[in-house]
Amino acid sequence: MTLFFAILFYLATALFVVGLAYKIYDFARTPAPLSIPTTPAPTTTTGVAFRMTREVVLFESLFKGNLWIWLFGWLFHMGLFLVLVRHLRYFIDPIPAWLLFFQPFGKYAAFMMIAGLGGLWARRFLVERIRYITTPSDHLWLALLIGIGISGAAMTFVSHVDVVAVKAFFLGLMVFEINPLPAHPALIIHLLLVALLLILFPFSKLLHAPGVFFSPTRNQADNPREKRHLAAWAAQIEKN
Amino acid sequence: MADLEFPIPKYRDYPEVPAIKAGAMAHSRPHVASEKIQEALGYQTKLAEDWQVTHDKAIGKFGELLGKYRSLKVFMDSCVHCGACTDKCHYFIGTNDPKNMPVARQELMRSVYRRYFTLAGKMFPSLVGAQDLTKELLDEWYTYFWQCSECRRCSVFCPYGIDTAEVTMAARNILDTVGYGQKYTNEILGKVNKIGNNLGLPGPALENTLEGLEEDLKEDTGFDIKYPLDVQGAEVLLVTPSADFFAEPHIESLIGYGKVFHAAGISWTLSSYASEAGNFGMFDGDYEMMRKVALRIRKAALELGVKRIVVGECGHAWRIAYAFWNTLSGLGAGANDPFAIELQKQLDPRYKQPSHICEFTWDLIQQGRLQFDKEANDHRIITFHDSCNVARASRMGDYPGGQFEIPRNIIKAVANKYVEMAPDTIREATFCCGGGGGILTDELVEARIKGAFPRMEALQQVVDQHGVNFMATICAICKAQFTKVLPYYGFNMRLVGGVHQLVSTAIRLGNEQ
Ligand code: HEM
Ligand code: HEM
Ligand code: SF4
Ligand code: SF4
């Protein structure tokens, strides 16, 4: 079993990293030929950085758009963020002080995450318009994330797992050493689902995470009269 | 007002989101462009007999656009179906057809993207909502991508800024390519390419119209207000939507521009070669078409040797002028390539190039170079309709949001009675008039009337509460659309007019004693 998980995680990580890197490269190399920020937009790059930060940290546009989705979505993502920060302890040794400080927040963030996901999922059933646009994969993603959340919380709050051994296993993988992984049912489910998440990430709607940074309506400065934007393919037309 | 086969939507007591009615607008289809129209633009003249040929060509074009437009690529990948945009489109609110929800409109295209360009869609199509491109689906594109006015309201509220307008443009570009163009838009593009304006008004006719206007104004005001055409060495080239030359109420604003130039004593000219600010090339997202139309203005500016370019009251035209001209034709500032520099060294760097007529007028007002009798507008209780392309796709002045303040500042400088419509229907959240983006054609009247519903609802409120009798706007399409649809909602069609119409009423033309 230890070997199975070792191979699985090498594979999943490789797919995740390569797939995501390719997608980011693909976004980056595709030109944005016209200036199309949704205005009013900041006129400087600094301004754009602030706008982007507000989008990513506060979900500003979503807040303007729909308070319920914002509430659940923000709970879920903030919970997820705190949980992931707490998880760094499995990959970093020794654990730095700031990370130690974070641990209790991360622990209860599991509930934030699960509650947010529950709310988002409920909307997919209860709100007619959202039911209309929901595809089976939207449900599966929510199921997958809730599954990860519940199996994780089960370990934290119900039946503990030997986290020292888990850490040894993952630190080992990083230096190509295989240490035994504790055989704990919740851990097995947790890790299987996490591997699935990593594998599917680059091929799915989770690309919204890199996508938001590349969205021309949000990442362009509003300065078309002062600066000439010209894509390479458009410059080519000019030569003809 | 012809009899309608459909009911006008009823105002709501509370602005609750309507229940969906699947297929409510499935019958809406604009006329297809004839072979002649398509040929003039260099598009395929009609759909191929063999579906496979159309299919392959469409997918090929889709792939090409994905490589050229980051917006399209990122937007195809990023939507999470969160639903924040579902109730933001005026066409959905007015028609309740779920395919008029922005995300569902995008999904018509995204489902094809998934099927042909992603691994998940190739392997598990039904799981991720991917589908083959069929003739039926292409017909649905034609139906629903011609019920989007490219107003960008959805993009304001999407957490990733997904702009359905970009998706609509790409879809229409593909439709053009496979010989499935829309008559209204493509016919007009043919005219502007051939004659220089969307109305197909040739130079001599334009000259006559302007002379007539000068005579009328002489009679009305006693002043020699000039409408110069093709004047070499004028300071300003004014480029305005051709509807301003004789449609009502557009012409009232043209009169206003002339009075402003007259009162400020700035020399100006129109161009018969570039007598159109509108550029329908944007509506179908065809970069080269848009560029071709924009180059006419560059050429006119170079030939006439003007120092400044000012753009009249037109929404999409201002978007193109403000945001795209520098890219398309080098008309702007800050370039370092020879093509753009040729024009930019001629233009006066002290002014924004191009300037909106409202920026132009507001600058003069601030400098104290224009005087007004505000009381002349006292018979009007005024509100302002922000036009989408000005509000969400461009700017005026030096600071973000200047596009909202400057027109309002002008109105307040020339009139005493001004009120705002509900806050969630103005500024960046403004509702489209329902006729923008290539929808302004008779056969789409149902979509137009229903699409105007949210704006009419907000207007009714200020009419009831404040007695508003004038809705000012700075867009030729808004003016034409409202003139048509206002009566269906029980309003006088003269309720709509331009900002420079108000300026025209109040401005002092000379040293009156
Ligand atoms: C830059 C980082 C990210 C940003 C700014 C971001 C933002 C958002 C926003 C605004 C939404 C829509 C509201 C909602 O439904 O919650 C959303 C949805 C979603 N996000 Fe993220 N996200 C990020 C990273 C992630 C990551 C790393 C994951 C997964 C591990 C994720 C999973 C999801 C899922 C599954 C949904 C859809 C929820 C639903 O079905 O309603 N996101 N994201
Ligand atoms: C290789 C990656 C991962 C490993 C090795 C891992 C391991 C663990 C372990 C051992 C626990 C139990 C902690 C305890 O008993 O105190 C846990 C809890 C949890 N995990 Fe993971 N996990 C991983 C990835 C993830 C991911 C990607 C998510 C979210 C999408 C997640 C969500 C949670 C949650 C919500 C909890 C409960 C709260 C907490 O203790 O932080 N895990 N995980
Ligand atoms: S751009 Fe405007 S018309 Fe088109 S889907 Fe979005 S809100 Fe509707
Ligand atoms: S708001 Fe954006 S992400 Fe959400 S459903 Fe609409 S297009 Fe998709």
Q: Which residue's CA is the closest to the ligand 3 atom numbered 5?
A: B102
Question: pLDDT-based confidence at B176, cuts 50/70/90?
Answer: very high
The pLDDT assigned to B493 comes to: 94
CB–CB of B239/B309 below 8 Å?
A: yes
Decide if pLDDT at B216 tops 50: yes
Distance B163 CA to ligand 4 centre (A): 9
Residues 6+ apart with CB under 8 A from B314: B240, B241, B277, B278, B474, B475, B476, B477
* A67 touching chain B per CB within 8 A: no
Q: What is the pTM of this model?
A: 0.95
pLDDT tens digits, B450-469 = 999 999 999 999 999 999 99
Is 60 exceeded by the pLDDT of residue B183? yes
Number of H helices, E strands in chain A: 12, 0
| Nearest ligand for residue B157 CA | 4
| pLDDT band per the 50, 70, 90 thresholds, residue B156 | very high
| Contacts A–B by Cβ distance under 8 A | 226
Does residue B303 sit in helix, strand or coil? helix
> How confident is residue B198, by pLDDT bands cut at 50, 70 and 90?
confident
B11 Cβ inside 6 Å of ligand 4: no
CATH of the domain at A72: 1.20.950.20
- Nearest 5°: the CA angle B342, B348, B350 is 135
Average pLDDT over residues B54-63: 98
Contact A30 B326 (CB under 8 A): no
Residue A117 lies in a domain: yes
Residue of minimum CA distance from atom 18 in ligand 1: B80
Instruction: Decide whether any atom of ligand 4 lies within 6 Å of the B17 Cβ.
Output: no
Q: Is A114 helix (H, G, I), strand (E, B) or coil?
A: helix
Give the single-character DSSP code of B496. Answer: E
Please tell me if residue A65 touches chain B, with a CB cutoff of 8 Å. Answer: yes
Higher pLDDT, A54 or A102: A54
Alpha helix segments (H runs only) across B19-130: 35-40, 51-68, 70-78, 90-95, 102-117, 119-123
Using the mean position of ligand 4's atoms as its centre, give its distance from the Cα of residue B120 in Å: 20
Q: Measured between CB atoms, which of B75, B127, B326 is closest to A224?
A: B326
A93-107, pLDDT tens digit by residue? 888 999 988 888 888
Tens digits of per-residue pLDDT, B276-300? 999 999 999 999 999 999 999 999 9
B82 Cα to chain A: minimum distance (Å): 7
Mean of all residue pLDDT scores within chain B: 95
Q: For B232-271, write each residue's pLDDT tens digit.
A: 999 999 999 999 998 999 999 999 999 999 999 999 999 9
Contact B77 A205 (CB under 8 A): yes
User: How does pLDDT run across B69-92, given as a tens digit for each residue?
Assistant: 999 999 999 999 999 999 999 999
Q: For atom 8 of ligand 4, which residue has the closest CA?
A: B79
**What is the per-residue pLDDT for A93?**
85
pLDDT tens track for B355-391: 999 999 999 999 999 999 999 999 999 999 999 999 9
Cβ of B401 and A234 within 8 Å?
A: no
Where does the pLDDT of residue A18 fall: very low under 50, low under 70, confident under 90, or very high at 90 and above? very high
Among A32, A41, A215, beta carbon nearest to B160: A215
Please give the CATH topology (third level) of the domain spanning B35-186: Fumarate Reductase Iron-sulfur Protein; Chain B, domain 2 (1.10.1060)
CA of A48 to the centre of ligand 1 (A): 21
Q: How far is the CA of B156 from the centre of ligand 1 (A)?
A: 18
B494-504 residue pLDDT tens: 999 999 999 99
* B45-61: average pLDDT: 97
CA-based R_g, chain A, Å: 21
Considering only CA atoms, which residue is closest to atom 25 of ligand 2?
A194
Of the candidates B67, B101, B428, which has its C-beta nearest A30's C-beta?
A: B67
How far is the alpha carbon of A90 from chain B, nearest alpha carbon, in Å?
30
Residues within a 6 A CB radius of ligand 3: B 88-89, 91, 102, 105, 148-154, 164-165, 168, 432
> Does A208 contact B80 at a Cβ distance shorter than 8 Å?
yes
Interface predicted TM-score (ipTM) of this complex, two decimals: 0.95
**How close A238 comes to chain B (CA, Å)?**
8
Q: How far is CA B65 from CA B59, B62, B71, in A?
A: 10, 5, 10
Question: Which of B72, B73, B82, B157 is the best substitution to test chain A (most A C-beta atoms within 10 A)?
Answer: B82
A133 touches chain B (CB under 8 A): yes
**B84-134: per-residue pLDDT in tens?**
999 999 999 999 999 999 999 999 999 999 999 999 999 999 999 999 999
pLDDT exceeds cutoff 80 at A240? no
Residues in chain B: 513
Q: Which atom of ligand 2 is nearest to the CA of A157?
A: 15
Pocket probe for ligand 2: among A83, A144, A192, the residue whose CB has the most ligand atoms within 8 Å is: A83
CA dist., res. A191 & res. A185, Å (int):
10
- pLDDT above 90: percentage of residues in chain A: 92
Atom of ligand 3 nearest to the CA of B432: 2
Ligand 4 centroid to residue A147 C-alpha, Å: 25
Alpha carbon nearest to ligand 2 atom 43, residue: A152
List of chain A residues whose C-beta atoms are within 8 Å of the C-beta of residue B85: 65
- Beta strand B470-473 with B355-356 is unpaired
Q: State whether A228 and B332 contact (CB < 8 Å).
A: yes
Cα B123–Cα B129–Cα B130 angle in degrees, nearest 5: 55
What are the E-state strand segments in A27-176?
none
* Residue in chain A lying closest to B66 (CA): A30
With a pLDDT cut of 90, the percent of chain B lying above it is 93
Query: Is residue A43 over pLDDT 50?
Result: yes
Identify whether the C-beta of residue A107 lies closer than 8 Å to the C-beta of residue A86: yes
Separation of alpha carbons B70 and B75, rounded Å = 8
Is A38 in Cβ contact with B156 (below 8 Å)?
Answer: yes
**What are the distances in angstroms from CA B245 to CA A125, B206, B477?**
54, 8, 14
Q: pLDDT-based confidence at B513, cuts 50/70/90?
A: very low
Q: Is the CB of residue B173 less than 8 Å from the CB of residue B65?
A: yes
Q: What are the boundaries of each domain within chain B?
A: 35-186, 195-358, 370-506
* Average pLDDT value for residue range A152-156: 95
Verify whether the Cβ–Cβ distance B128 to A135 is below 8 Å.
yes
User: Does residue A13 fall inside a structural domain?
Assistant: no
Q: Which ligand neighbours the alpha carbon of A157 most closely?
A: 2
Rounded Cα distance between A240 and A29, Å, is 23
B84 pocket-lining for ligand 4 (C-beta < 6 Å) = yes
* Banded model confidence at residue B1, pLDDT cuts 50, 70, 90: low
**Helix (H) / strand (E) containing B464:** helix B453-466
| Of B259, B270, B210, nearest in space to B503 by CA | B259
Residue of B nearest to A47 (CA): B400
Confidence band, pLDDT 50/70/90 cuts, at residue B2:
low
User: How far apart are the CA of B231 and the centre of ligand 3, in A?
Assistant: 41
Q: CB under 8 Å to A96, separation ≥6 — which residues?
A: none
The number of the ligand nearest the C-alpha atom of A84 reads 2
Q: pLDDT tens for residues B309-325?
A: 999 999 999 999 999 99
Domain that holds residue A113: 37-239
Q: State the total domains in chain A.
A: 1
The answer to the question of residue A23 being in a domain is no
How far apart CA B188 and CA B198 sit, in angstroms, is 5
**Ligand 1 mean position, distance from CA A28 (Å):** 21
